[in-house]
Amino acid sequence: MAAASALAAALVVVGCEDLGLPGGGTVATADLVVLPLQTGAPPVTPQSFYVYNGRPVTRQLTHSDAALNAYLRIEFPPGCLSSLNGTPLSIDDSVFVTVESRAGGYGLTLSPSGLEFTLETPTVTFFYGRYADPSVADAEPSFADVAAYLAALEVWEEATVGRWRVARASGPAGVDAIAAALDAPGELLIAAAR
């Protein structure tokens, strides 16, 4: 019995430690090679809009170029809103959200921070083919070439300040696109682990 209790206590301690990747842990920002935008890339206009719990809501953020090239698409399925600042939300409720791009690189900030989702979480897809600058990989010995860097890209969510974990369901979403589930408001970025 004492051995079982000691084992359980050890598992709790190990489960609470920052184990690093792989294993579901987190990494510091310095351990990521963030996918930057090209110098002079047209800015991305933030959007604020209502998410209605009773119906799907999709928005696309675009670069402010003549073609309005896509930067990201965010999709909220019906019934995805659980609560706001601890107050439960019904299927008839809506929440005003803001989606902004991250300065200098691919990523987003979603607010308000007190919003919680159900198991039907939103998804986000980033489109980096037009304005990404993958040459950042040239200075990184972790990657054999730019192709290896692009193949290693994932969507990362900020777990705590300066600590990141791979977002759930992160993966390629077609040519020059990557997608992930959005489990909570906050910060996301596109990067590869060093």
Q: Which residues pair with 180 in a beta bridge?
A: 124
From the DSSP assignment, how many helices (H) and strands (E) are in the chain? 2, 16
Fold of 24-193: Chondroitinase Ac; Chain A, domain 3 (2.60.220)
Contacts of 41 (CB under 8 A, 6+ apart): 63, 131
CA distance 160 to 187: 10
Instruction: Report the chain's C-alpha Rg in angstroms.
Output: 19
Contacts of 173 (CB under 8 A, 6+ apart): 125, 179
Q: Where are the alpha helices (DSSP H) in the chain?
A: 2-16, 146-152
How many CA atoms does the CB half-sphere of 194 hold within 13 Å?
14
pLDDT value for 24: 57
The pLDDT tens digits along the chain (194 residues) read 444 433 333 333 333 333 344 445 899 999 999 999 999 999 999 999 999 999 999 999 999 999 999 999 999 999 999 999 999 999 999 999 999 999 999 999 999 999 999 999 999 999 999 999 999 999 999 999 999 999 999 999 999 999 999 999 999 999 999 999 999 999 999 999 99
The H or E element spanning position 6 is helix 2-16
pLDDT value for 34: 97
